Amino acid sequence: MKAARDSDHKAWLERAAAASAGAIATLGHAPFHIVPLYIVAIVILVRLLDRAALRPRRIASAFGVGWWFAIGHFATGLHWISSAFLYDFGVWGPLFGGGAILLLAALLACFWGLGSALAMTLWTSDMRRVPIFAAAVALSEWLRGNAFTGFPWLLPGYVWPAGEPTSQLASLVGVYGLSALTLLLAASPAVLFNSGIKPLRRLAPVLAGALVLALSWGWGWRRLAEPPPNALDPPLVRVADSGMSQADKWAERPDQEWRVLQRYLEASGLASEADIVIWPEGAIPSVNSYALENPLLLDALAAALGERALVLGLTRRAPRGEGFVHYNSAVVINSANGVAEIADIYDKHRLVPFGEYIPFWRLVSGFNIAPLQRIGTGFEPGSAPPRPIVLPGAPTATILICYEAIFPALTPDGEDRPGWIISVTNDAWFGAGVGPSQHFAIARYRAIESGLPMARAASGGVSAIVDAHGRVMASNHGGGFAQAPIPAALAETPYSRFGLLAAAPLVLLIALLRFLPRPPRRAPARPPREEL
């Protein structure tokens, strides 16, 4: 009985160690970017997997270790999502929000568990376990980013600050390839704890990792040092935010749309101050009417806009059968002679599960669950993915609405490749915590991967103009505006052209390192001979 209690106690201590390491790994991401702590966390995970490899049910044990690590990682890294529940559930918000975060973390953790279990099938006691760990977890992270609509948040590659030298590798292999390389570098110090290997051999993977990191940094530094291409008469773009909280924006008042409109017009300035103005996702709430169906509101907008183009996010509805369906849309409005012309509409194609729609609605409709956006049973997805749109006096652009900016390779390439990206988002749901910072850091990687500049308007988050290397040209947080000429696009990047085919050779090469010959072990020391 005592032996069983001791075994259970040790098991829970190990789970706590894994979860704690996962929480430490969160400090590697925005807004902290403490990469050494991320390395410490990954080394702890590898060492715990070493212990799992000694157990009879080693694959199941490895799944458990990876799962507990990821529980700590996602529960701390995504805790800000619970803020969205405060608007609809009041004092019960923390309870429902906390429960939702734990459930989400438990589901996402299954992918790290799967990656750890996959690595365990080819685990070794020597340095070759490091590359198989990196390749297996990178593969499971790609699966997490694509399965069941996907949620590629907190990918390992995002520990490198966007716009700095190491992040430039994303232009070659994307964030998934960068994640595989990051896991390889972070796990390599685990070899220092190997016994039976000469000290210099234990040091070799760490030195090799440091060399790869130095070469990557040097290549990225050189890429950033190259003079940017000249943009011919670039348009002056202003991204504006009302500065209103989510609760204030949705206050039930008869003049609510007009109150919000006035705040945005103040942030947009005079017609002579910018060529294109961009407002965030859901800029004008639909409290009393839908903006596109209100001619008085459109007339007032045109009168204040002047000879400018406006891109704004809003909710629109369209008839279907005897009722209506709703879309989370971005609308391009051209203003000329005081008349607002709706030039183009993009309906968000990839929606947020449970936030904008309820998956498997027919199965769960009896539970009376509604999405957070409070639009009936949720939004309808747009019929087509992001596409080029035309704006007067500017290169063609592609619009990514909120959640869409976290997905690599959504921006069109080839002949449809635009000249820049417009990102509109509503981060006001999530307060002033780390969530908006993480979202901004992730969105900037889309600029690096595609080689395209980005103009980002974020309600309650970071609004900015970002160049094609992911560097911030102008930014604002908490209301007001940021403004700059839109930077020039770079030549199409390898990742933009080939997508995952650019990352696959790197991941395969890392995996093949597992099959190198086993390194020689140090012979055990001989006991001293007895004197006769």
Which residues face 378 on adjacent strands? 357
The answer to whether residues 99 and 92 touch, using CB atoms and an 8 Å cutoff, is no
Residues 130 and 186 placed together within one structural domain of the fold: yes
Residues 104 and 247 placed together within one structural domain of the fold: no
Category of 520 on φ-ψ map: left (φ > 0), alpha (ψ -120 to 50) or beta: beta
pTM of the model: 0.93
Q: How far apart are CA 116 and CA 132, in angstroms?
A: 10
Range of the domain at 74: 2-226+500-515
The answer to whether residue 527 is domain-embedded is no
Which residues face 457 on adjacent strands? 424
Mean per-residue pLDDT for 13-30? 98
Instruction: Tell me whether residue 281 is one of the annotated catalytic residues.
Output: yes
Report pLDDT digits (tens) over 204-261. 999 999 999 999 999 999 999 999 888 778 999 999 999 998 889 999 999 999 999 9
Which candidate in 141, 402, 404, 449 is catalytic? 402
Residues 365 and 393 placed together within one structural domain of the fold: yes
Instruction: Tell me whether residue 110 is one of the annotated catalytic residues.
Output: no
Which candidate in 348, 356, 380, 449 is catalytic? 348
Q: Is the pLDDT of residue 344 over 90?
A: yes
* 4 — pLDDT class (breaks 50, 70, 90): low
The answer to whether residue 377 is domain-embedded is yes
Residues 369 and 391 placed together within one structural domain of the fold: yes
Residues 86 and 220 placed together within one structural domain of the fold: yes
Reported as half-sphere exposure (CB side, CA atoms, 13 A), residue 434 has a value of: 17
**What is the reported pLDDT for 532?**
39
**What is the reported pLDDT for 453?**
98
What are the distances in angstroms from CA 128 to CA 77, 124, 309? 30, 6, 57
Q: Is the pLDDT of residue 388 over 90?
A: yes
Residues 6 or more apart whose CB falls under 8 angstroms from that of 215 comprise none
The answer to whether residues 412 and 384 touch, using CB atoms and an 8 Å cutoff, is no
Residues 6 or more apart whose CB falls under 8 angstroms from that of 232 comprise none
Mean per-residue pLDDT for 28-39? 98
The answer to whether residue 529 is domain-embedded is no
Which candidate in 281, 356, 380, 404 is catalytic? 281
CATH number at residue 452: 3.60.110.10
Amino acid at 262: Q
Q: Residue 259 in 3-state DSSP?
A: helix
Residue 67 or 7, more confident = 67
Based on the structure, what is the number of domains in the chain? 2
Residues 146 and 189 placed together within one structural domain of the fold: yes
Mean per-residue pLDDT for 175-185? 98
Instruction: Tell me whether residue 249 is one of the annotated catalytic residues.
Output: no
**What is the reported pLDDT for 519?**
78
Residues 168 and 73 placed together within one structural domain of the fold: yes
Question: Which residue do the tokens 């190990």 mark?
Answer: 14
Give which of 427, 149, 439, 389 is closest to 282, Cα–Cα: 427
Looking at residue 333, the DSSP 8-state letter turns out to be E
